[in-house]
Amino acid sequence: MKKILIACNVFAPDNEIAAVKTTKIAKYLLKSGYDVEVITEKNTYSAFDDHLLKGIEKIKPLYVHPTKSYFILKKLYDKIILPHKKKRFDDTTSKKRLRKNEETGLIETVPFETAYPFFGTIDYMMKIIKEKSLVKNAKKYIKEHKNDYDVCFSTYGRYFGHYIGEYIKKINPEVLWIAEFRDPVYNELFNAPPTRRHAEKFSENVYRKCDRITVISNGMKNLIPEKYRDKTTVLTNGFDRDDKIQDTSFEKKDKFRFIYTGRMYGGVRKTQRLFEVIKELSDENRIDISDFEFHYAGTGFKIFESQAKVFGLEKNCVDHGFVSHKKAMELQENSDILIVSTWEYKSQNVGIITGKVFEYMICEKPVIVLVNADFEDVELVSLARRCNIGFAFNEYNLEKDFKDLKEYIVMQYNLFKEGKELFYSPVAEEVEKYNYVNITKQLVNIIESSDK
């Protein structure tokens, strides 16, 4: 029986979308007969979500903490830097947060890190100091158990996982190191200029030293330097049918409910087109706006509400705050249409496929995908259309997609008013590709084929 070490920053019961994939991979590796150990950060900021613990009861993660010196530095940061940062972070209307795309003429939201490079650089430095302090406190244990592991599966969302992967590969070269990238380390959109060189060097170091690389999209695979692509596999996010909420005794709905669960990334994720479509339909007397509710669960409600306010729909918005994974699933089950929003710019084409779109597949309800893009062939849009899970809107095709989205919403709204089931006709064989059972099989294939 092979023993696999999973090194990551978040893991069940952390209530974060990033914790879902590592947790589900661990669950189905166990079911495939592997011995699984997890080393992760002890997060104090994340809510507890026991829904994620199903199926991984045998795994008792080893939790590591930052060093005392980091906490001293963090205390100074919170006192001196944080108040000034928060004041600017909360102001999403600042001219520094907006820029005009010269090719499309569209106004794009600039992430905080690049709008304010001083704070972006300080935050990046704090992140690196913290991640290295975590590794420092983990090294003794890893060194003592270096010969226990056959495989190290490290994940990037933050640096800790790959630092662990690099260290264990150094002290035990026989370990198969598989490095996963959920996001690109270097992304011009989110990296303040002074941090970019470090991010590039970190990425290159991992690409070179690891045995295999996994990424979550074809777009991200294209970002991997060509000389490392032969050892790169696309291993997408996915869904777990065990997460399906079985209790169907939900409240009776008298409203046509939309639900957005997740984050707004400081306004980079946009929902304005949906609100604009609905406002226009109301002005045309094709819908009754009082029937509509827009529910939000997560961080960033003020941004969501402000996007609705542009079209006078802020009073139709309902804030549920930051909720558990299970509660988010319940809200999705009790809604009519699920909303996904992301961005994709030609200059930074990273193949963003948010994990929420897969989570929504469990609910078997229509999904509206909103992508703020400046080119046509967007991977998430193609996925949604191939799976036929709802309607995919691409800002690049504004005129056509705006018109078609109007007709889609009217069609679903009329079914709602008639008391009928909304239209949902997914392509089952396409959807099933994203079941974590099948995704884990792909990872098992990487592990077993590496022995040959």
Q: Identify the CATH number of the domain in which residue 123 sits.
A: 3.40.50.2000
Residues 175 and 207 occupy one common structural domain: yes
pLDDT at 367: 97
Q: How many domains does the chain have?
A: 2
How much of the chain, in percent, has pLDDT values that exceed 90?
A: 69
The reported pLDDT for the residue numbered 47 is 63
Same domain, 215 and 254: no
Task: Say whether both 57 and 197 belong to one domain.
Answer: yes
Low-confidence ranges of the chain (pLDDT < 50): 452
The pLDDT value given to residue 243: 87
pLDDT of amino acid 354: 83
**Residue 52 confidence (pLDDT):** 85
Is 358 within the bounds of a domain? yes
Domain-embedded: residue 85: no
Residues 273 and 398 in one domain: yes
204 and 351 in one domain? no
pLDDT for res 111: 80
The boundaries of the domain holding residue 340 are 241-430
Residue 79 confidence (pLDDT): 96
- Give the pLDDT of residue 106: 61
pTM of the model: 0.87
Cβ(27)–Cβ(56) below 8 Å: yes
Tell me the pLDDT tens digit for each residue of 321-367.
Answer: 988 778 888 899 999 999 999 988 877 667 778 888 998 999 999 99
